[in-house]
Amino acid sequence: MLDPRLFRTELALVTEQLQRRHFAFDASAYEALESRRKAIQVKTQELQNERNSRSKAIGQAKAKGESVEALMAHVQQLGDDLKAAEVALADVQAAMTALMEGIPNILDEAVPDGKDESANVEISRWGELPSFNFTPKDHVDLGVSKGMEFELGVKIAGSRFVVLNGALARLQRAIIQLMLDTHSGEHGYSETYVPFLVNADSLYGTGQLPKFAADLFKASDDPALYLIPTAEVPVTNIVRDTIVEAKELPLKFVCHSPCFRSEAGAYGRDVRGMIRQHQFEKVEIVQIVKPEDSAQAHEELTRHAESILQKLKLPYRRMLLCAGDTGFSSSKTYDLEVWLPGQGAYREISSCSNFKDFQARRLQARWRNPETGKPELVHTLNGSGLAAGRTLIAIMENYQDADGRIHIPEALLPYMGGVTVIG
């Protein structure tokens, strides 16, 4: 959530910045609510002052032996008026909160203008695209004889589910293990295990609720619990309603989890194969840092995700997302896109985002500034390090041979129990 003071002091600037996102912010509606809030607040204060004054007058009149019936009736009426004003003030404040909850983060100044992904900016590329003396297959055609069963996924659960068997299941497990070992052993992240069901407060804190409820799978109503769309939610909520001492920062977490997404807005997109599933595996890396360190931490976290692709020798590019393609809570996002020969295209395999204090304000996640002794909001960052299913796809397509076999990347051999080729 944005700082409410920005709206009161720099409304024109906020409106201008939100226009970069092509977000329709109704400034006049906000101004009307703010004007009403101020008027009710002034009236409430006046009623409180008058009631206090009249109550004091009652005591003075009683001391003089004077009649106080009229004064008491007036105080009673003031009390009723005050209660009505407090209810009206609460209603206006609730309306303002609801309005604020639907407003996205202010973009970092480095984010380029643009309406959609076509305006994203390529920052760098790594690796040589593989050259084949045959027409490369996509992961669906490669996997059909190797234990990748989409029809069985449909039978068991429905569309956008898959069953992996045998060596492919082991390959995905090996990918996850490599990621966890690298981030915890080389990059300084602390491995954590978290619930895969979370409450509404947790999803509110990271920005999924209330705006993106349709993208979630709700598991129960009493209490309300949701399947996690990403480990970002439970891991970032570790610092909800806490004050972290400066010496403890940065906090760096790595977490493997399944992820569950309804893909409410994605029907008709990526219907073939494993690109867009309701259930998938991911290794998430999360950092909680001081505000002055978040820009540097964003670059570091992105390099950590890139290192997995480099270990696997998978060609990829880093993209800086434009204003219209940057996520609701993010201030700045890099997408890592891996090359898929079967599609002849780069596809997203990781999003690395700096949320600055947007999530922290909703979470009330703070650190104690030793210079002032006062708590201040932290900055939060996260990224996929990486999406395991898409990494599996990328290995299948980049390491295929003319006979449809899949060769295991060298970095994964220690995890494969002697298996060097699948198929």
Tell me if 348 is assigned to a ligand binding site: yes
405 included as an active-site residue? no
Tell me if 98 is assigned to a ligand binding site: no
Strands (E) in 188-342, as ranges, are 190-191, 197-199, 218-221, 224-227, 242-245, 251-260, 279-289, 316-320, 332-340
- Among 261, 318, 361, 362, the active-site one is 261
| 126 conformational bin, left if phi > 0, alpha if psi -120 to 50, beta if neither | beta
Tell me if 307 is assigned to a ligand binding site: no
Tell me if 350 is assigned to a ligand binding site: yes
Q: How far apart are the C-alpha atoms of 290 and 244, rounded to whole Å?
A: 10
Tell me if 262 is assigned to a ligand binding site: yes
Q: How far apart are the C-alpha atoms of 383 and 389, rounded to whole Å?
A: 15
Tell me if 288 is assigned to a ligand binding site: no
Helices (H), 116-230: 139-143, 150-156, 166-185, 200-206
| Element holding 42 (H helix, E strand) | helix 27-64
Tell me if 145 is assigned to a ligand binding site: no
Tell me if 34 is assigned to a ligand binding site: no
276 included as an active-site residue? yes
Specify the residue for token string 């002794």: 373
Tell me if 263 is assigned to a ligand binding site: yes
Q: How far apart are the C-alpha atoms of 343 and 398, rounded to whole Å?
A: 11
- Among 351, 361, 366, 397, the active-site one is 351
Specify the residue for token string 């950092």: 287
- Among 36, 125, 173, 276, the active-site one is 276
**What is the separation, in whole angstroms, between the first and last Cα of the chain?**
50
Question: What are the φ and ψ backbone dihedral angles of 116, each rounded to 5 degrees?
Answer: -150, -170
- Among 51, 361, 362, 390, the active-site one is 390
Tell me if 86 is assigned to a ligand binding site: no
Q: How far apart are the C-alpha atoms of 419 and 412, rounded to whole Å?
A: 10
CA 348 to the chain's CA centroid: 16
- Among 34, 86, 191, 348, the active-site one is 348
190 included as an active-site residue? no
| The two structure tokens encoding residue 255 | 């977490």
Tell me if 160 is assigned to a ligand binding site: no
Tell me if 361 is assigned to a ligand binding site: no
Tell me if 317 is assigned to a ligand binding site: no
Residue ranges for the binding site for ATP?
A: 261-263, 348-351
Residue ranges for the binding site for L-serine?
A: 230-232, 261, 284, 382, 384
Residue ranges for the binding site?
A: 230-232, 261-263, 284, 348-351, 382, 384
- Which positions are catalytic? 261, 276, 348, 351, 390
